[in-house]
Each structure stands twice: as C-alpha cells, then as structure tokens.
Amino acid sequence: MKFELLGLNPEILKAVEKKGYKKSTPIQEKSIPAILNGKDVLGGAQTGTGKTAAFALPILNNLYEKKHAGNAPRALVLTPTRELAEQVGESFINYGKFLDLTTIKIYGGVKINPQITNLKAGTDIVVATPGRLLDHINQGTINLREIEILVLDEADRMLDMGFIRDIKKILKVLPAHRQNLLFSATYGKDIKQLSADVLRNPVFIEVTKRNTAAEKVNQIIYRIEKGQKRHLLAHLIKEEAWYQALVFARTRHGANRLARQLDKSGIPATAIHSDKTQSARTRAMNSFKKGDLQVLVATDVAARGIDLQDLTHVVNFELPQVPEDYVHRIGRTGRAGKSGTAITLIAPEDRAQLQKIEKILKYSIPEARAKGFKPVFEQVEGRSGSRGEGGRREKKGKTNKRPSTNSAPGKKGSDNTRKFRPKRRG
Ligand code: AMP
C-alpha cells in the first residue's frame, strides 16, 4: 500500500520518501492507522518486517499533531539491547527530521553524563534499554511523568534477558493513562502475561505466523563432529564463495576462539559479544557493513539488535539455548524480500536441542553433506523421514513439509553471486 493512504503527515511522508520506501510493509499497513487512532497494539512481528517504522512513524505523527510546550519526554521506547536502542533511535531521528521533534538514546556501556545533559535540555522521545533507564530514574535525572506513548520493542527478548523486573519498575513511574504498543516475535506465556498487564483492548496485529521461520530462508543442517565444525565452516565459506556470514556461538569465549581461528585460515572475522565495549562492537559492525569483514561471530545477546541488510548466510555454529532463538537467528538472513541461507552444524550432543527446534518449526530441516567431511549419523527416533541407517544420499532433504526454498542445499555460490573481496585491513 502507498504510504500516502495511511493518514500520515506530509512532513513524515517526505522523510519516508527520502528513505526510498516505495510501499508500506504489511505490519506498517496494519499498525500505522491503529496507532494514529490512539489504540494499544500487540504486534507479532520479527525484525526485518519494517516494524520500527510501523511504530515510529505514527508516534512521530501523534506527537507532532499534539504539540506540547514542556520539555519532558512524551514517548518512551524500551529495547532489549544497546544496538537496537541505537538503531531505533536513529530511525526516529531519521523519520522525524522534517518535524520539530527530538529523540535521545539512553543505554549502558557509555558515559551517563552526556545523557543527563541531553535530558536536561529536553526531548520528545526517549529510546532506552531498561537497565540504564532505571539508573536515570533512580538518580532522578529523567522525568517520565509526561509519557503518552510506551513501546516495548522485542518484548520477548527483554523477558529472555531477564528484564521483567526492570520493566515493572519502569511501568510504576509512568502515568497510568497512556497508549501502549508491544512488539514481539514470539508469543509465549510470559508475553501473554505482560500484554495482559500493560495493554488495554489492544488491536492484535500479526504479520508472520507465530514461531515460523522466515519463508525465504533456505535452511540446511550438516551433521558433524564437534571438533570438525570449524573446519567445515571454513570449507563452506571458501568452497561456496559466501559473501558474508553472521555466525552464532554460544559463549563469548567460544565466539572469540572461532573468530581467531577463521581469521587464521584467511577468512576475515571478528567476534562481538557483551564483554566487548560499545565502541568495539560498533567498529566491528561498521567494518562488516562496509564489507571489510567477512564473518561476524556473535552471541545471541550481542546479535539481537543488529540490522544487517543483504546478509547472505547465517550459521548456527552452536545451537541456541532457547529453541525460539533459532527463529530469531535465521531471521537475520532472507530479509526485505531477499533470500538467504541458514546453515546449522549439528554434533551428536546437539541432537536433543535440534529436536526441540524442529518441534517449534513443525518440520525437519533438510540435511546436506560436504565433500571430504564425514557426517555423523546416530540412531534418530521420532523424526519423520528418519534415517538412522547411516547411509543417506548426498544433499538429500527430508520430505516433511517446510517452507519452499529458493536454492538447493549446498548449491555453489547460492543465489547470491557477490563475492567477498577483502579490502586492505588495518
Ligand atoms: P525493521 O523490521 O524495523 O528492523 O526494518 C527492517 C529494514 O527494512 C530497515 O532497514 C528499514 O529501513 C527497512 N524498511 C522499513 N520499512 C520499509 C519499507 N516500507 N520499504 C522498504 N524498506 C523498509
């Protein structure tokens, strides 16, 4: 649908046009009119669906239409990670650039004093992570009594990361009468409870089916001994001439080690995780975006807020602890209408976790074999199309129903013909 039909202010439409968006995405089409009407919204949407603009545009519109003389913030957006706060804050700044509205980003890992100075000067919108926001609340350096609109972005992640108590403390200092928007990729028991506590007669908007993996992602698993994983990964990256990959490791230590090993084998790689400073993370992200880095190895927490367009490959070097995170992870590729590949490396000890993931997906992920790498087969029960006999044909997908894919497993160069050409580093 054209943005002009959604009821937005011409100044906002101008910013949208400048961003180059031609049409609204489904979540935007449904959320924007509801939010403009002052409704509470429960949005089931993953990153990559355009959900940030789906709430940022109508919020800017509402604040602009009801101008206000005070200097306390009127909209508060809570996000699970610093990266996401940074990214959402930038979106508000960008979409609101022709309006007389200001946005401040509040997150940890950076000095608090500049944030205090900015808050004193006044702002319309605050985008914050719960921890640092609470620091400001406790120090009395933020006034949240004028908040008219609250957004809980990626609420499921905030709960996974243990922010529920912080969120509850924050809710206590907000005015009771306000508009509430809650976005979540999954809709488990805890999210239902939080929605019931926070939202009033919400409009329920869901753009991808709950817990379904992105349809444009070509998913493949390789069964391999744990010790062989890194060799197989390096082999696939080189052999299939991947452009870039986001690789998920379970621990910070593991992420560091893998990045070092890949780097040694001639694949420019860096790890990002919560032990790294904010500026180190930003630097790594930027060089990845510029194409100086071929592989970013990340833990789930660090990867959550990353917005990478054109990501061709996502790799589950290790499976996530929370099965739902598999869906979050692979949603990093195949975004904005493009197709992508998600590779999962399964060692015998990962089997139980894989079964949990496939239960959520409701289908079995197809398998592939790589030349020169001995797959590890073990007796598998209860998987449809089960093998267990130790002799499957190469690159054969299991037959259970799954979303259609755009390229065959293991297809050379996949459907992305770009080649990684490292620039001079240093
Ligand atoms: P999000 O789901 O908010 O993380 O957005 C994913 C990406 O889609 C961001 O890089 C946005 O800039 C982009 N985007 C958002 N809305 C549109 C649109 N209507 N048309 C094209 N791209 C969009």
Q: Are 294 and 422 in contact (CB under 8 A)?
A: yes
Cβ proximity of 379 and 227 under 8 Å: no
- Is 36 within a domain? yes
Specify the pTM: 0.61
In a domain, 248, yes or no: yes
Predicted local confidence at residue 315, as pLDDT: 96
Instruction: Compute φ and ψ for 64, nearest 5 degrees.
Output: -70, -40
* 421, part of any domain: no
Ligand 1 pocket, residue 21 CB under 6 Å: yes
CB atoms within 10 A of CB 187: 17
Ligand 1 atom nearest residue 49's Cα: 2
pLDDT along the chain (426 residues), means of 10: 92 95 92 97 86 97 88 96 93 95 95 97 97 97 97 92 94 97 88 95 78 67 94 93 91 93 94 80 83 89 65 91 84 68 94 91 87 68 37 38 39 49 50
Q: Is any ligand 1 atom within 6 A of the Cβ of residue 158?
A: no
What token pair was written down for 200?
A: 């009033």
Nearest residue CA, atom 22 of ligand 1?
21
Please spell the DSSP secondary structure of 17-39, one letter per residue. HHHT--S--HHHHHHHHHHHTT-
Q: CA 15 from chain center: how many Å?
A: 24
Q: For residue 94, with 0-12 CB atoms within 10 Å meaning exposed, 13-18 middle and 19 or more buried, which class applies? A: middle
> With the C-alpha atoms ordered 310, 255, 47, 324, is the resulting torsion angle positive or negative?
positive
| Same domain? 225 vs 366 | yes
CA–CA separation, 53 vs 32, rounded Å?
9
pLDDT value at residue 327: 84
Q: Which residues contact 140 (CB under 8 A, 6 or more apart)?
A: none
Closest ligand 1 atom, residue 88 Cα: 3
pLDDT tens for 117-136 read 999 999 999 999 999 999 99
β strands within 213-362, DSSP E: 217-223, 245-248, 269-272, 295-298, 313-316, 340-346
3-state DSSP assignment of residue 342: strand
CA distance 185 to 406: 23
Determine the structural domain holding residue 80 and report its residue range: 3-206
CATH number at residue 61: 3.40.50.300
Question: Could you tell me if 94 and 128 lie in one domain?
Answer: yes
Would you give the distance in Å from CA 284 to the centre of its chain? 17
Give the pLDDT score at 96: 95
Which atom of ligand 1 is least distant from the CA of 307? 4
Residues 191 and 223 in one domain: no
Q: Are residues 98 and 177 in the same domain?
A: yes
Given the CA of residue 22, which atom of ligand 1 is nearest to it?
20
Tell me how far apart the alpha carbons of residues 113 and 73 are, in angstroms, rounded to a whole number: 18
Q: Is the CB of 87 under 6 A from ligand 1?
A: no
pLDDT number for residue 305: 59
Q: Using an 8 Å Cβ cutoff, are 84 and 120 in contact?
A: no
Taking Cα atoms as reference points, which of 174, 101, 95, 162 lies closest to residue 129? 162
Query: Which residue, judged by its Cα, is nearest atom 15 of ligand 1?
Result: 50
292 and 190, same structural domain? no
- Does residue 407 form part of some domain? no
Indicate whether 8 and 139 sit together in one domain.
yes
Same domain, 179 and 225: no
pLDDT value of residue 306: 65
Same domain, 154 and 268: no
Based on the structure, what is the number of domains in the chain?
2
Tell me the CA–centroid distance for residue 49 and ligand 1, in Å: 6
